[in-house]
Chain A
Amino acid sequence: MADLATLSIAEQLGLTEADPLRLVAVPGQFLVSGAHDLPANSVADIEGGYACWLTPRRRLVVSATPPAGFASDISHGVAVFSIDPAHDTDFVAMGCALPPTALAEGKCAQTVFAGLKLLLYRRHGLLHLHVERSLAPHILAWFRQAATAL
């Protein structure tokens, strides 16, 4: 019996070159609860990847290997996008009330964007967006509509 095939988020969404969102390939994503020393609302490199602050006792770890402790593998459950750098401040201004300072390099923020909760952070200059996989079609539709207003 063959292994079960994977339906990628890209295939599911029908993303094109013209879209203001690009899928970012990440090796894996884990919700990790427990004590940590990440400063609030920051994203920082760690061994094997990087981590985003979610709460004083929870991080999102992006890496191939499951971290130790209470870690849940959500790799399949979260779509990771990068936002077109030419217009990322415009999209943020349209989608949420975050000030630009909240998304400076190395900062991350969970916020209500286009009516749903998601994670934004800036890493290597690029603004990343993590959204629940089931809501990825809605977010893409929102970005496509918002792009017409630019």
Chain B
Amino acid sequence: MTGTRIPAIGLIDRGQKLSFRWQGETLTGFAGDTLASALLANGVRVVGRSFKYHRPRGIFAAGAEEPNAILDVWHNSQNDPNARATLVPLQDGMSARAISGWPSLNFDAFQGLDLLHRFLPAGFYYKTFMAPDWHRYEPNIRRMAGLGTAQKTPDTRHYETRHAQVDVLVIGAGPAGLAAARAAAAGGRSVMLVDENPQFGGSLLWGDATINGQIGTAWARDTTASLAASGAQLLPNTTAFAYYDQNTIGLMEHRSHAASGWAEDRLWSVLAAEVVLATGAIERPLVFPNNDRPGVMLASAVLRYLRQYGVLVGKSVVLTTNNDSAYETATALLAAGGQVAVADVRAEPGPVANAAQAAGARVYAGSVVLNTGGLGGIAWADIGPADATSQRNATSRIGCDIVASSGGWTPVVHLFSQSGGKLRWDETLSAFLPNTGRQAHQLAGSMAGWQSLAECLASGHKAGGSHGEAPVTAIARLPTPLQPYWHVPITGARQWLDLQNDVTVKDVGLAARENFQSVEHLKRYTTLGMATDQGKTSNVNGLAVMAELTGRTIPETGTTTFRMPYTPVSLGAMAGMRHGDLYAPKRQLPAQSEHDAAGALMREYGGWMRPACYPLPGETEAQAVQREARLVRTNGGLFDGSSLGKIEVFGADAAKFLNLIYYNEVANLKPGRLRYVLLLRETGIIYDDGVIARVAEDRYLLSPSSSHTAGVLAMLELWHQTEYPSMDVAFHDVTAAWATIAICGPRVRDILATLATDIDLSDAALPHMAMAHGRIMGIQARVARVSFTGERSYEISVTAGHGAALWRHLLAQGPTPYGIESLSILRGEKGYILIGTDTDGLTMPDDLGMSGPLRAKKVDFVGKRSLTTPDGARPDRRQFVGLLPEQPGFVPMVGTHAITDGPTRRSLGWITTAAHSPTLGRSFALGMIEGGRAHMGETVTLFDRGKTSRATICSPVFHDVEGAKLHG
């Protein structure tokens, strides 16, 4: 046991005790604890096993940079399988487990891998575990690495998205951010202030500063309160994870820690006129041998656990450092009754070191930790000269339970870089600082390179616009300069760089030797910086080592590209409400209630919920489909075609314009007549088919297919607006305003006779492919005589609100309601194509045998030129044909290839539609076959998943070849 809670210090609420479980054992903590601070307070040392070598690991840091304490956390029956314990506010009833270590954390069967570490360097999986098939090893290697398992029960968390627009978005509520928000609010601007922690204050929460005469925590609290009172939006527990274009920021608000208790992540998309980046800096460790044991921590983390959470992580602490900041930890530890030794690599550590020495710390100048040891943790540390070349150069062995280091501070420039900003290396600070930015932002505090509190406050005040009084604090003495120190110059013992991915200095050496010297290659080859901590404590150390090994400067080596997210974000939050029924909008037919009443099996087709079929009680879908297809031809059929598009086209130039767009001649269509047309793309490929009706000299009604209505409308607008803007024509999408019910079959004229209408439905007045208007049962209506089944067919359109009643009336006359699936058989056996089923992204009109309209049409139209390109004229183009399988009971699968016979098989095309037809009493198919029309009557081999069969190429019209039924 090392960590203990000490009295009278910390910002936790000792009045609110919380109970939680760790590895099945019940422990206690307080409101205000994180899971990490509570574990430390309970003396927990080991929280996991390292990724590759399965070495025991403990809590290392106190913030988002934590690499080791990745735990499987359950609360309120929701799970975060890879939660960073330092960012999880403790809650009553929470339960946490380690994600690595089998069968147990303390006795891991794979810990022997550490003994084999020489055979498991970076990239070992590119050289070993390859024969005979690397797929065999990979799952096992992954399992051994150990990461949390996702819950198998549904995720019932509420995820939500919010958009916001604000004058000033301040990211980071430490001293600089608070000063900036305060100034911006004083200037009358709308302000949003966010911080990833539950409490605002940042480093003030573990510092001992005085601002405007108040202690830092009190100033932070009061500033927060006055910001709230001024109307600023305050978002704690909120990570700014991405900086997008044009000052759009992605925020993830973790509301699972809200007082309401129920879990929710809220994604914000904020458009800010100005962003203030006050994201602070993260301490990086010194790199020394065996620097990965449980008990090795960041010096600032030790300080934070003490001052913010009242946890003394160890009684006897060895600090090793190259700069002044570790001494604040030293003096705080001494004040709390701890023992402290400091190994400072600088030969002359300076005044703060002297002060610490005076307070009781043992300070070793020009020294560093050369080794650590202890079973399952730390029991001792060896100290020796900073320029030691061997661990045998150690001069003292100090008994201790914690070794904490400070190697300098890395400004958090992630969002700045994401925004397109460029960095520069500052030699004095040994840090990458923002150099040139590209978006509308201000920089404040330590992320911009300011070191003292006074400078941070001043820069924040300025970034917020300098309104109101600047906060005042004592000017600190200049620190003794940091001495760059990237690793102990010995060979032999491993020195860790990336704790989460188990990457050492040796691995960087290996990468350098194998010529993976670019920093981007270094990252991918060694995986340094690729874990969920994204190298927050290891990237700079790693590239500095690479620079040294390859004789380059650090700026020459550079950094890898910063990408969102800054910390992991849940997929659920990114999806927001777009899941389940709300995933994609589905359109509903006006007569839906009637289909429900008839027991329809509804399915989504092209964005509309439509009846697939209407199974009778006890019928399977296949049986229903066969029954419907049979009865439509013998009894008559009723079909809801309301989803078919309806676009009204109006204007003096309507005919001229449409003629420039469509494949077919449409200007000579007489009022009251319909024509089947194709719509091509400029590439000559068929985009849609449909029916055009001429309503009047200057008015047409277009009927695109259901799934292409929006696309056709968009295409008309595009051509009108960009190519033919002077033409007098306009387009209105009225699809949803009309219900269209199709009635067809042998009894259709009798059924129509039951409609009270003023429309002349005689063949003379309404021949096939004609349209008439009038009233049906008192309601405005349209009747079009057009068929997709090959039967005599009428499409009756009434305004949508009357659709259900029209269906009911027609159904009462006895026709069989039929759905999409049986329609496919009916149209299929008539050789009527379905765009996107029988055609694909290469099909041109002549492939379907529809070159007549091209010959007849004189004007240019969309796609015309492409029809006469070499590709359009190729003789081996696939052509639309029918196929009769040799076995009449065999229905080939759609997609089955027709292949050449002989030793080298080649595909000649494939089947696009296939079904059993009750009318034909056998199977039939449609397909696209190379030069198909020239091979009528010939048989061809079909190939499907290893099995072959034969089929005869024939006309695609199998039933009623003369088309007599249309007029019967």
Contact = CB atoms under 8 A, between A and B. Distances in A.
A64 interface: no
Interface string B754-781: 1110000000000000000000111100
Given A34-B730, A94-B161, A96-B163, A7 B587 contact: no
B805 A148 contact: no
B588 A93 contact: no
Contact of B164 (A33, A57, A93, A133): A93
Interface in A97-135: 97-100, 114-116, 132-135
Contact of A93 (B162, B577, B756, B809): B162
A77 B733 CA distance: 10
A12 B778 contact: no
Interface stretch (A18-26, A39-47, A80-88, A138-146): A138-146
A12 B754 CA distance: 27
B727 to A, nearest CB: 12
A76 B584 CA distance: 23
Given A8-B801, A70-B651, A115 B736 contact: no
A77 B800 contact: yes
B802 A132 contact: no
Contact of A78 (B158, B577, B736, B798): B736
A35 B88 CA distance: 60
Given A58-B730, A132-B736, A4 B158 contact: no
B650 interface: yes
A97 B165 CA distance: 9
Given A75-B799, A138-B585, A4 B777 contact: yes
Contacts of B504: none
Nearest to B780: A73
Nearest to B608: A134
Contacts of B804: 5, 7
Contacts of A97: 163, 269, 271
Contact of B777 (A1, A58, A77, A146): A1
Contact of B585 (A6, A8, A94, A115): A115
Contacts of B801: 6-9, 76
Nearest to A3: B778
A116 B732 CA distance: 18
Interface size class of A (residues with CB under 8 A): 35 or more
A63 B590 CA distance: 23
B650 A5 contact: no
A49 interface: no
A31 interface: yes
Contact of A4 (B162, B581, B608, B776): B776
Contacts of B803: 7
A72 B736 CA distance: 12
B161 A70 contact: no
A12 B158 contact: no
A102 B578 CA distance: 24
A5 B648 CA distance: 26
B571 interface: no
B593 A7 contact: yes
A115 B737 contact: no
B581 A141 contact: yes
A124 B834 CA distance: 49
A1 B812 CA distance: 14
A142 B586 CA distance: 12
Contacts of B802: 4-7, 76
A137 interface: yes
Interface string B640-663: 000100001011000000000000
B806 interface: yes
Interface residues of B, number: 52
A100 B592 CA distance: 36
B730 A115 contact: no
Contact of A146 (B577, B581, B651): B577
A8 B590 CA distance: 10
A142 B777 contact: no
Contacts of A70: 650-651, 730, 732
B585 A116 contact: yes
A115 B589 contact: no
A4 B799 CA distance: 10
A34 B698 CA distance: 14
Contacts of A114: 577, 582, 585
A77 B736 contact: yes
A68 interface: no
B753 to A, nearest CB: 11
A81 to B, nearest CB: 15
- Give the interface centre of B163, B588, B800, B802 by most chain A CB atoms within 10 Å: B800
A75 B737 contact: yes
A15 B165 CA distance: 32
A137 B643 CA distance: 16
B288 interface: no
B359 interface: no
Contact of B582 (A8, A31, A34, A142): A142
A135 B585 CA distance: 7
Contact of B732 (A31, A94, A137): A31
Contact of B592 (A12, A96, A132, A149): A12
A115 B163 contact: no
Q: Count chain B CB atoms within 10 A of each CB in A74, A132, A146, A148 and give the residue with the most.
A: A74
B259 to A, nearest CB: 16
B961 interface: no
Contacts of A5: 802, 804-805
B215 interface: no
B349 to A, nearest CB: 54
A33 B732 contact: yes
Contacts of A138: 582, 585-588
A113 B159 CA distance: 17
A57 to B, nearest CB: 7
Contacts of A7: 590, 593, 801-805
B734 interface: yes
A148 B778 CA distance: 44
Contacts of B589: 134
Contact of A145 (B582, B736, B778, B809): B582
A20 B955 CA distance: 57
Contacts of B584: 115
Given A1-B756, A77-B738, A93-B164, A134 B805 contact: no
B308 interface: no
Contact of B738 (A76, A115, A116, A145): A76
Contacts of A136: 588
A77 B582 CA distance: 22
Contacts of B846: none
Nearest to A9: B801
Contact of B165 (A33, A99, A137): A99
B577 A72 contact: no
Nearest to B809: A4
A78 B733 CA distance: 11
Contacts of A8: 801
B590 A133 contact: yes
A30 B590 CA distance: 19
B160 interface: yes
A46 to B, nearest CB: 19
Most chain A beta-carbon contacts within 10 A, residue among B158, B164, B165, B806: B165
Contacts of A33: 650, 730, 732
A2 B754 CA distance: 12
B593 A133 contact: no
B577 A145 contact: yes
Interface in B719-768: 730, 732, 734-738, 754-756
Interface in B459-481: none
B778 A4 contact: yes
Which 4 A-B residue pairs are closest in the complex by CB-CB distance?
A77-B737, A33-B730, A3-B778, A77-B736
12 contacts: A6-B805, A9-B801, A12-B593, A70-B730, A74-B734, A77-B738, A93-B162, A96-B163, A99-B165, A132-B587, A134-B608, A141-B581
Given A93-B162, A134-B588, 5 more contacts: A1-B754, A5-B802, A5-B804, A73-B737, A115-B578
